[in-house]
Amino acid sequence: MKIAVLGAGSIGVYVGGVLLASGADVTLIGRATMQARIARDGLTLTDLHERHVVLRADQIHFTQDAAALAQADLVLVTVKSADTAQAAKLIAAHGKASALVLSLQNGVGNADTLRLALPGRTVLAGMVPFNVVQLGDSQFHRGTEGDIAVEQSPALNPWHAVFAAAQLPLVEHENFAAVQWGKLLLNLNNPINALSGLPLKTQLSQRAYRRCFALLIKEALGVLAAAGIEPAKVVRLGPRLLPLVLSLPDALFSRVARAMLRIDPQARSSMWEDLRAGRRTEVDYLSGAVVQLAESLGIDAPFNRRIVALMRLAESGKQSSMSGSELSKALKDSFSVAA
């Protein structure tokens, strides 16, 4: 039972690494820069519960060659959403027809993209709820809680024990589209966190940033309602309550939503990490997905559209870190223009 992780970035390296450390046969497939770092330093995998796993370089099979997919019985797709179509081509060219393909990506359409390019193969959608941040060259740190959610399928039966042994239990869901939209609502904070330049816990502790987050969620909920989509509850607070709770004063929020602040102080969003590394972010597949759905219904989503534009500026180096009040003004100005 061999596993290949296609797209060994923060999530791919962490998930693949803890699976490897628990005894699974894992191959990481990624870029030369990551391969060089791991060859030099090995891997240190940590989490908010003081887990500490060290893997030597000679214990890790890392390659840039997608031909390694030929041996895999399970392919975990952890590439950025923009690279999903290319990942599908690599799987089609090299992967076994019998291999299970599991997308562990942000957004709502990646599994469909994979299925379209891989007819006749078993492709399932999945969702990683936790955050992983790179600390130094070899440490990958899980800063938040949550179990991996997956689309319900008997094809997962042989893999439950493997993931459970790595303390990464797979939780199956019958209506996975609802789960994806529920997670996407939470991911609307990713661009806010990236634009703040702050750790997640610090950013979420400030009401001005939370109000921006609430604006994006409330607008997205309106779009989903118009589309007849009911997002699932993926955290303790249901989607409808989130905007209200996020808008509470800091002292009250810290009491009512204590679980939301149960975040490692070092945790940051992957979008912040992409900005820092000079990479294009996934904002088009998060807030951009809300905008796209709204346009398909003939309505507008000005707050989410504006956050996409701000991220584009940040990617080009034309937008520096913003305070909560600055970001709030930028979002509300966009609504005034749209109105």
Q: Where are the domains of the chain?
A: 2-174, 179-338
Band of the pLDDT at 261, cuts 50, 70, 90? Answer: confident
Residue 263 pLDDT > 90: no
What is the structure's pLDDT at 135?
84
179-338: in CATH 1.10.1040.10: yes
pLDDT at residue 214 greater than cutoff 60: yes
pLDDT in tens, 325-337: 999 999 988 655 5
pLDDT score recorded for residue 337: 52
Average pLDDT estimate for 248-273: 87
pLDDT of 336 reads: 56
- pLDDT at site 181: 95
- Per CATH, the homologous superfamily of domain 2-174 is NAD(P)-binding Rossmann-like Domain (3.40.50.720)
pLDDT for 202 equals: 95
- Mean pLDDT of the 13-32 span: 97
Query: pLDDT-derived band of residue 319, with 50, 70 and 90 as boundaries?
Result: confident
pLDDT averaged over every residue in the chain: 93
Residue 170 has phi, psi (to 5 degrees) of: -95, 125
**pLDDT band for position 136 (cuts 50, 70, 90):** confident
Per-residue tokens: 135: 């600390």
Handedness of CA 92, 19, 150, 271 (dihedral sign): negative
Does the pLDDT at position 229 exceed 60?
yes
Q: What pLDDT is recorded for position 145?
A: 85
CA 41, CA 334: separation in Å to the nearest integer?
46
What is the three-class DSSP state of 44? strand
